[in-house]
Chain A
């Protein structure tokens, strides 16, 4: 007799546990407010990207096209993937000294792992991580970026 009651109580307990599980999914079915999906391209305007989000490396320029990069190559050394290459140039200062300045700050977005080490290494805070995350392009060449704008100059007084 004991086995028979056990048999039926097993069935009862099993069915009860199943019904409890169904009540959880049933709750979500009846409460569509719980839906957490974001409709991405549509919600682009209201999308909140955290301030610290590491999207891509950029070099901020002032209004009169000046940046803070001295071309010291600290970021190039800090980068673990070799995605930064500093192409420098030598000019002659008015005092007649030869001086190294930055020609191109080449940044290969395709190789970047967004570890932020370059930003930390930069002694003049010339480069920062921007929030832009929409990097898709049709041409791989577009991912190799030159961060300093053409014709831009180093901000006065940075190099001291």
Chain B
């Protein structure tokens, strides 16, 4: 059914509330859809259902306490969020952390990225109607979660970083666990391709759907795999290497198609890159301390500090204004989900409801990250 076939003077637009309780908004996001038949005319995201005033809470917390709040932004890339705060504080204290810390942070970052992407892959399949992929994705996610559990005692909200280093040293069998996982994961990743990437129904539903141009990606501030699929090189790991990223060789995954399939493929390829990064580092963890002792009460010199990291969804930035007190004067988080969501209306216009679900999946939205 094309729009041309319908006499538009006779048809009327109508509204549908997608969410706040809806299986494919992955949280409490409310989309107000303006529809004509099944064709989307306008998407208006209404956010704020899980707003917890985290930025305001940060103003009342010490710098150590901020970290556990950042766990609760984008809970799927909590380690990157933690790291951003720690790097910003370390930058303020002009502190150099040991090499060992940098390498471990990088490994955990990449494990976290894989765990986030496997979960995204499963959920993407589920949104497309292939519920089985959800369980397969979660299987690999769970294995990484177990590694985290052994390493820092928490599965999801890790709080593994502290200003100056890490909360614990890695457990003695950490390397073996990670290597075992990589062996398993490299066997399972091609399975992901057979199940979804090469499946004709899946490719038909994603190729050419939800086009985001490079200009629009830059204009809306879209970052992460979603933007790289449109040809926008924005990987913070490459542009401003932090931790141990300057030491490893990895490709920045760039596609130019800008459609749902490119965004999907960018994430799948990014998992392979993450695997290669971990493999380069896992045998070369330098000996040394796992943290530098800081004062019990950290006070940053008066000034502004910004540190961005590449989280699983894009550029995650922490902006701290300090007035030399034990609490920051102001904290602002630049969350990738918020910027990515802003492009949704541009992408989704003219698509069908089913396409909207695919687009939202490929933008990989995590609602607490958007609402904060």
Contacts and interface: CB of A to CB of B under 8 A. Distances in A.
A137 interface: no
Interface in A71-121: 74, 78, 80, 113-117, 120-121
Contact of B199 (A18, A114, A115, A121): A18
Given A53-B149, A113-B68, A120 B61 contact: no
**Residue among A21, A51, A114 facing the most chain B CB atoms (10 A cut-off):** A21
Interface residues of A, number: 26
Contacts of A78: 62, 64-65
A92 B68 CA distance: 40
Nearest to B61: A80
Contacts of A116: 153, 159, 167
A20 B65 contact: no
Interface stretch (B190-198, B212-220, B281-289, B300-308): B190-198
Contact of A24 (B149, B171, B191, B296): B191
A51 B194 CA distance: 38
A17 B338 CA distance: 36
Contact of A80 (B65, B151, B296): B65
B25 interface: no
B126 to A, nearest CB: 15
A24 B199 CA distance: 12
Interface in B177-216: 191, 194-196, 198-201
B238 interface: no
Given A17-B200, A24-B195, A50 B153 contact: yes
B311 interface: no
Contacts of B69: 80
Contacts of B132: 25
B299 interface: no
B200 A14 contact: yes
B248 interface: no
Contacts of B154: 53-54, 114
Given A13-B200, A21-B199, A117 B149 contact: no
A17 B195 CA distance: 9
A14 B58 CA distance: 53
Contacts of B71: 115
B68 A17 contact: no
Interface residues on B, range: 20 to 34
A121 B132 CA distance: 45
A15 to B, nearest CB: 8
A51 B61 CA distance: 29
B68 A80 contact: yes
Contacts of B65: 78, 80, 115, 117
B168 interface: yes
B139 interface: yes
Interface in B126-177: 132, 139, 142, 146, 149-154, 157, 159, 162, 167-168, 171
Nearest to B132: A25
B201 A18 contact: yes
B354 to A, nearest CB: 19
Given A13-B200, A18-B200, A21-B195, A115 B159 contact: yes
A12 B170 CA distance: 51
Contact of A52 (B150, B194, B201): B150
A53 B70 CA distance: 20
Nearest to B139: A36
A135 to B, nearest CB: 15
Interface string B55-94: 0000001101101110100000000000000000000000
A114 to B, nearest CB: 6
Nearest to B171: A52
B149 A50 contact: yes
Contact of B68 (A13, A23, A36, A115): A115
A129 B168 CA distance: 13
Interface of A: 13-14, 17-18, 20-21, 23-25, 36, 50-54, 74, 78, 80, 113-117, 120-121, 129
8 contacts: A23-B194, A51-B150, A78-B65, A80-B65, A116-B153, A116-B159, A116-B167, A117-B68
